[in-house]
Structure 1
Amino acid sequence: MPIVPDGPAYGGDQDDHRGAARLSGPLFREQPPQARPYDTPQARPHRAAPQNPEPMPDAPQPAPQPQKKSAGRDLSAAIGVAFGLGVVIIASLFVVKAVFVGVVAVAVVVGVWELARRLRERKGINVPVVPLAVGGAAMVVAGYVRGAEGAWVAMALTALAVLGWRMTEPPEGYLKDVTAGIFAAFYVPFLATFVAMMLAAEDGAWRVLTFLVLTVVSDTGAYAVGWRFGRTKLAPRISPGKTREGMLGGIGFAMACGALCMQFLIDHGTWWQGLILGLAVAVSATLGDLGESMIKRDLGIKDMGTLLPGHGGIMDRLDSLLPTAPVVWLLLVLFVGQG
């Protein structure tokens, strides 16, 4: 904020109020100034010239250099990690489905551990990690083998295990610990079971691939459009980097990609179903990203972990995938059946 002086600076036309204090008129004529003893060139004291004279006001100033936009992360590391993860996911998805289920279970366990660690560090909440890790992995397997019924049963048993495990410690903080534990069980492994349920269909690999591609395209399209054309903030208090223009870009890219995927990858799918699917994915992915940002702001952290260079932790990559999984599963069931 510029510093504004309390009154006008003296000099020029602004000195009128000083002259108003002088006595003037026919009775008070100003006398000529008396000559001072040193008022001759020889008697005037020598004054040294200033060593660092200030530049003239009209001197040309160097133009400021334009600042380039930056993604804020190690782009090369991020691309390398993303490529490696993509190879592992695609290979396990189309070679042996059980291997992909194992990949999802491992991601769930790591994600639960990251979330529990951050809750303990920043909020002093001791989430029971062991029952969450075991129950989370079992939840993913149950969703793949037994469908939605198996996932709900595993979720209920995991919640009971969290309640019982915490009873082995002092009662102080019991309520907040088990509440956070049940939230973690729902947020990470239960939502991830819908990926395993998609995989259980005959064309399950293509359904999961469609889910992954649409989510990635939505995020990438929103980032690219927002970085280039973004002006209006979407949710500045939650995620200052997101813009409305970026969200519209993500929706457009996801809808176009959804039409192609439903037409050419999903059995009995049509392009107009893909438009609806792409729109739903873009909205759910954005909400999931904002929800994760809300959690991290509450915890006062930038990333959930450091396992993936250029990306943060596992939870920083699952933020948009987890809430999108049940949306894609439900719409595919409605459009083409469970398979």
Structure 2
Amino acid sequence: MPTAFPGSPDRGRSRDPEKPKKKSAGRNLRAAIGVGVGLGAIILASLFVYKPVFVGVIAIAVVVGLWELTSRLSERKDIRVPLVPLAVGGTAMVVAGYVRGAEGAWVAMALTALAVLVWRMTEAPENYLRDVTAGVFAAFYVPFLATFVALMLAAEDDGPQRVLTFLLLTVVSDTGAYAVGWRFGKRKLAPRISPGKTREGLLGALLFAMAAGALCMQFLIKNGVWWQGLLLGLAVAASATLGDLGESMIKRDLGIKDMGTLLPGHGGIMDRLDSLLPTAPVVWLLYVVFVGSG
């Protein structure tokens, strides 16, 4: 058996073959879990103790999300979106949706868009069209879509349960996609947009969300039936995935990884809302079709 002599390049080198590198989640999982548990506790406490408090939680998330989005647009693209009318109008949308329903939300959205157009007139006219277009997009993307959560909450019979089901299904969909994709993922879903997403992960999202949907509709939603939950879970998995891809597209265009750093292990508020925002109107509409507006 050959022996390594002093000065030999083989001296002190391990003869064991290199171990394959373990897959990495790419995030600080301990911090992510801690933040997730904390956010969950706040949401549950406000949701089931006093519903108007949860409306305030939605409004705070909307304002912080708008601040992150407009800040990144300014930093990376020099797009000057007026935050004040967006923040005031976004809060008004959420409150109007809870108090006056869908009609109130639409009126608040229209007034917010008008306020953005007028507010931007106080600055130089260069790039006016670009800035107000981005402003109207921000108003629709963040507060208007979030208003559908307030519409779910407004249901008299089971508002908190509707919101809880919506949140659970979205989280379960994301978890299923991550778990299955991390373990079995091989075929890329949309490599140009989000290289980490796989078709196997999408299948995991569908299966997890449909199973959770059947349970939630049967046991949490008044007059709900398990088969409705299967369809609800299917729709949630699809919209949550599209929402995630949509924000990934925005971040790629901006050249950033996360929208913010407010939540350790998660990124920013917008990085947690990406799946929830486009899913909210889908879930609200299916509630109306299956069991009524409440």
* Cα displacement string for residues 187-237 of structure 1 (whole angstroms, at most 9, x for unaligned residues): 000000000000000210000000000000000011000000001000000
| Whole-angstrom distance in 2 between the partners of 1:209 and 1:80 | 20
Higher helix share: 2
| Whole-angstrom distance in 1 between the partners of 2:289 and 2:199 | 30
* Cα displacement string for residues 102-160 of structure 1 (whole angstroms, at most 9, x for unaligned residues): 00000000000000000000000000000000000000000000110000000000000
| Whole-angstrom distance in 2 between the partners of 1:97 and 1:54 | 70
Please tell me the residue identity of whatever aligns with 2:64.
Answer: V
* Cα displacement string for residues 73-95 of structure 1 (whole angstroms, at most 9, x for unaligned residues): 11111001000000000000000
| Whole-angstrom distance in 2 between the partners of 1:181 and 1:267 | 39
Q: Identify the residue that residue 195 of structure 1 maps to in structure 2.
A: 149
Please tell me the residue identity of whatever aligns with 2:257.
Answer: K
| Whole-angstrom distance in 2 between the partners of 1:178 and 1:53 | 69
In structure 2, stretches of 5+ residues that fail to align are 1-5
Q: Identify the residue that residue 92 of structure 1 maps to in structure 2.
A: 46
Q: Identify the residue that residue 291 of structure 1 maps to in structure 2.
A: 246
| Whole-angstrom distance in 2 between the partners of 1:54 and 1:264 | 68
Distance 1:52 1:121, change over 3 A: same
Indicate the SS of the match to 1:66.
Answer: coil
Q: Identify the residue that residue 112 of structure 1 maps to in structure 2.
A: 66
Within the candidate set 122, 125, 128, 1:168 is matched to: 122
Q: Identify the residue that residue 228 of structure 1 maps to in structure 2.
A: 183
| Whole-angstrom distance in 2 between the partners of 1:248 and 1:62 | 38
1:316 aligns with 2:279: no
Within the candidate set 210, 223, 229, 1:274 is matched to: 229
Indicate the SS of the match to 2:209.
Answer: helix
Within the candidate set 135, 138, 144, 1:181 is matched to: 135
* Cα displacement string for residues 30-83 of structure 1 (whole angstroms, at most 9, x for unaligned residues): xxxxxxxxxxxxxxxxxxxxx97788xxxx964122101111111111001000
Q: Identify the residue that residue 3 of structure 2 maps to in structure 1.
A: none
* Cα displacement string for residues 244-272 of structure 1 (whole angstroms, at most 9, x for unaligned residues): 00000110000000000000000000000
| Whole-angstrom distance in 2 between the partners of 1:268 and 1:62 | 62
Q: Identify the residue that residue 248 of structure 1 maps to in structure 2.
A: 203
How many residue pairs get matched? Answer: 285
Alignment of 1:71-86 (within 5 A): 71-86=25-40
> For the pair shown, which has the larger CA radius of gyration, 1 or 2?
1
Q: Identify the residue that residue 131 of structure 1 maps to in structure 2.
A: 85
Q: TM-score, normalised by structure 1?
A: 0.82
Indicate the SS of the match to 2:195.
Answer: strand
RMSD: 1.3
Q: Identify the residue that residue 101 of structure 2 maps to in structure 1.
A: 147
Indicate the SS of the match to 2:189.
Answer: strand
Please tell me the residue identity of whatever aligns with 1:299.
Answer: L
| Whole-angstrom distance in 2 between the partners of 1:149 and 1:315 | 26
| Whole-angstrom distance in 1 between the partners of 2:18 and 2:195 | 25
1:101 aligns with 2:101: no
- RCO higher in 1 or 2 (8 Å CA, sep ≥ 6)? 2
Indicate the SS of the match to 2:260.
Answer: coil
Alignment of 1:2-17 (within 5 A): none
Q: Percentage identity across aligned positions?
A: 81
* Cα displacement string for residues 279-328 of structure 1 (whole angstroms, at most 9, x for unaligned residues): 00000000000000000000000000000000000000000000000000
Indicate the SS of the match to 2:117.
Answer: helix
